[in-house]
Amino acid sequence: MGSTASHQRGEQATRRWPLIESGDSMKGIFITFDGPEGCGKSTHSKLVVEYLKSKGKPVFHTREPGGTKIGELIREILLDQRNKGMSVMTEAFLYLSARAQIVNEIIKPELKKGKILICDRFQDATIVYQGYAGGIDIKLLKELGDISTNGLKPDLSIFLDIDAQAGLKRAGCKDRMELKSVSFHKKVRNGYLALAKKEPKRVKVVQVKGSIEETQEKIRKIIDNYVF
């Protein structure tokens, strides 16, 4: 009974705040890059953008949180090392707020134009960081995520897999999220792997090994099979 009521509340809330109007046609392709800290998602997503442009494909690249004026301000708050007292629930709502803005302002319009939209991180990151690692109920996060995106999901998600400690070493621990404990980041990695098992058609795992070129080659094979 409680589960049904919760689902109904989520549906009602989604109808109350429509970000994607009924009948909207998403003609583009929505691809996300995600993974633990230091996995190289920003580097590889930009390389894929260059690759697709070289093939004559219309591409738009953005990042999450961020991508909009409001989102970038939220990003500063989330990653500022001085905000050590931020609760995991506050994190979740800030990420969801930035996501609602970028879906409405950037992602939806670009997809309607028929673009291939590539985004660094999206809802999977909230499920993993604040859910699997942070301890918030995952079902609740999914319901809130559906509200913030009005159900918009990536067509394809590239998960760049790297050992947590190796990734942190590469990242250099520069922001508040990177400064969380190694045990937290191990839970993050395990969370991504769990998501990949649950949604193997959407989430593709790429091991980050060898050179950037070697990893990028593996990513391009996945992209080619999906886009061309």
Question: Could you report the per-residue pLDDT of 151-170, keeping only the tens digit for each?
Answer: 999 999 999 999 988 888 88
Lowest mean pLDDT among 11-20, 132-141, 162-171, 203-212: 11-20
In this prediction, residue 110 carries a pLDDT of: 97
In this prediction, residue 11 carries a pLDDT of: 45
Contacts with 120 (C-beta within 8 Å, 6 or more apart), sequence order:
32, 33, 34, 41, 42, 45, 62, 63, 64
In this model, does residue 4 exceed pLDDT 70? Answer: no
In this model, does residue 20 exceed pLDDT 90? Answer: no
In this prediction, residue 25 carries a pLDDT of: 62
Please give the average per-residue pLDDT across 39-45, as a whole number.
95
How many degrees, rounded to 5, is the angle at CA 19 between CA 75 and CA 116?
Answer: 70
CA dist 56 and 14 (Å) reads: 36
pTM for the full predicted model = 0.87
In this prediction, residue 123 carries a pLDDT of: 98
Q: How confident is the model at residue 171 (pLDDT cuts 50, 70, 90)?
A: confident
For 26-227, the fitting CATH number among 3.55.40.20, 3.40.50.300, 3.30.70.141, 3.20.20.80 is: 3.40.50.300
Give the phi and the psi of residue 214 in degrees, each rounded to 5.
Answer: -65, -45
Q: Which residue has the higher pLDDT, 225 or 10?
A: 225
